[in-house]
Amino acid sequence: MEQLINEIKELARQKDAVILAHYYVDGSIQDIADYVGDSFYLAKVAKEVPNKTIVFCGVTFMGESACILNPDKTILIPDVSAVCPMALMVYEGEIEKVREEYDDLAVVCYINSMAATKSLVDVCVTSSNALKIVSKLPQKNIYFIPDKNLGSWIAEQLPEKNFIFGHGYCHVHDVIKPEDVEAYKAKYPGVKVLVHPECPVEVSKMADYVGSTSGIIDFATKSSDKEFIVCTESGVEHELKKRNPDKEFHFIDKHVCQNMRGITLEDVAECLRNGAPQAHVEEEVRVSAEKSLDRMLELGSN
Ligand code: SF4
């Protein structure tokens, strides 16, 4: 293991590569990464770092987002089979159909989506800026894709808008049910519940805090509480424990995103040795997708 880690570090140095890792990948990869964060944070880091090569340890849509924002950089994807099923739960023909049905419509797309989808929508959002951005849109009708759970959570807070939801969901978060939360609350009375909005909206409604992966980590770190019930992917525990060694985190059933957790140190070494596989987005798609990401940055910044 130590030999492999040293090889990765040496290859990264030789190739002027920076290693980015999502919170849901295995802890061994988070430990060797130069930056660890959620998908939006990592996309921004990819744009800011001077390195010409980026090793993106996450699912493929994240590598694509890095490509969209950094057309001049090489984005290495250690495991091309690490695909997010929710990002694929979009029917492109449906977007056109809904556009024809409503005159006053904005198509809003969660950043957890493929580049081809981003190229067809009006604006992208993350779980942390979705409420702010959708509330600023002038349109009354909002077609929110692909995540029906995140969309429903935002809709709860914006009753003045009319939402049409996509059919997508994250299978890792969607299986967390209100009765699971009830059981944990009974077992750990008085303990705050932290929820990622990819969970069903009934679960989000039971939370003391609802937010992105980074938001959950920040909330727990700043809080004076010593114990939390956490409803999200269990890879986040690595960073939570690192920042809060004196606190306890009760993850509901240790749900795992196998798509990300399957990435290994050997995969990271192999892509650095070969300079492949690389993320790639056709230029026409990239330019359109970049517009929806730029709109997100513009509406999310003030
Ligand atoms: S946790 Fe869910 S949304 Fe995130 S990559 Fe895995 S399957 Fe996709």
Residue 80 sits in the same domain as residue 226: no
Backbone angles phi, psi at 251, to 5 degrees: -85, 130
Give the model confidence (pLDDT) of 236-278 as tens digits.
999 999 999 999 999 998 889 999 999 999 999 999 999 999 9
Residue 65 sits in the same domain as residue 12: yes
Q: How many domains does the chain have?
A: 3
Q: Where on the phi/psi map is residue 111: left (φ > 0), alpha (ψ -120 to 50), or beta?
A: alpha
Is any ligand 1 atom within 6 A of the Cβ of residue 210?
A: no
Give the model confidence (pLDDT) of 101-126 as tens digits.
999 999 999 999 999 999 999 999 99
Is any ligand 1 atom within 6 A of the Cβ of residue 176?
A: no
Distance 110 CA to ligand 1 centre (A): 12
Distance 13 CA to ligand 1 centre (A): 30
> Among 59, 111, 230, which residue has the most ligand 1 atoms within 8 Å of its CB, making it the best to mutate?
59
Average pLDDT over residues 12-24: 96
Distance 223 CA to ligand 1 centre (A): 27
**pTM for the complete prediction?**
0.94
Residue 159 sits in the same domain as residue 195: no
Distance 170 CA to ligand 1 centre (A): 6
Residue 185 sits in the same domain as residue 233: yes
Assign residue 250 the CATH number of its domain: 3.40.50.10800
Note if the bond before 138 is cis, omega within 30 degrees. no
Residue 1: per-residue pLDDT:
82
d(CA 264, CA 29): 7
Residue 77 sits in the same domain as residue 8: yes
Distance 172 CA to ligand 1 centre (A): 7
pLDDT > 90 fraction of the chain, expressed in percent and rounded: 93
Residue 229 sits in the same domain as residue 272: no
Is any ligand 1 atom within 6 A of the Cβ of residue 84?
A: yes
In the predicted structure, residue 302 carries a pLDDT above the cut 80: no
Residue 156 sits in the same domain as residue 187: no
Give the model confidence (pLDDT) of 56-69 as tens digits.
999 999 999 999 99
Distance 257 CA to ligand 1 centre (A): 6
Is any ligand 1 atom within 6 A of the Cβ of residue 262?
A: no
Residue 32 sits in the same domain as residue 93: no
Is any ligand 1 atom within 6 A of the Cβ of residue 62?
A: no
Q: Atom of ligand 1 at shortest distance to CA of 59?
A: 5
3-state SS string for the chain:
CHHHHHHHHHHHHHCCEEEEEECCCCHHHHHHCCEEECHHHHHHHHHHCCCCEEEEECCHHHHHHHHHHCCCCEEECCCCCCCCCHHHCCCHHHHHHHHHHCCCEEEEEECCCCHHHHCCCCEEECCCCHHHHHHHCCCCEEEEECEHHHHHHHHHHCCCCEEEECCECCHHHHCCCHHHHHHHHHHCCCCEEEECCCCCHHHHCCCCEECCHHHHHHHHHHCCCCEEEEECCCCHHHHHHHHCCCCEEEEHHHCCCHHHHCCCHHHHHHHHHHCCCECCCCHHHHHHHHHHHHHHHHHHHC
Q: Atom of ligand 1 at shortest distance to CA of 147?
A: 3
**Cβ 24 vs Cβ 75: under 8 Å:** no
Residue 100 has a CB neighbour count (10 Å cut-off) of 9
Residue 44: per-residue pLDDT:
82
Q: Name the residue with the closest Cα to ligand 1, atom 8.
A: 84
Residue 295 sits in the same domain as residue 151: yes
Give the model confidence (pLDDT) of 202-219 as tens digits.
999 999 999 999 999 999
Residue-range definition of the domain harbouring residue 240: 176-254
Give the model confidence (pLDDT) of 121-137 as tens digits.
999 999 989 999 999 99
In the predicted structure, residue 55 carries a pLDDT above the cut 80: yes
Residue 228 sits in the same domain as residue 291: no
Average pLDDT over residues 30-52: 90
Residue 14 sits in the same domain as residue 142: no
Give the model confidence (pLDDT) of 148-202 as tens digits.
999 999 999 999 999 999 999 999 999 999 999 999 999 999 999 999 999 999 9
Residue 163 sits in the same domain as residue 129: yes
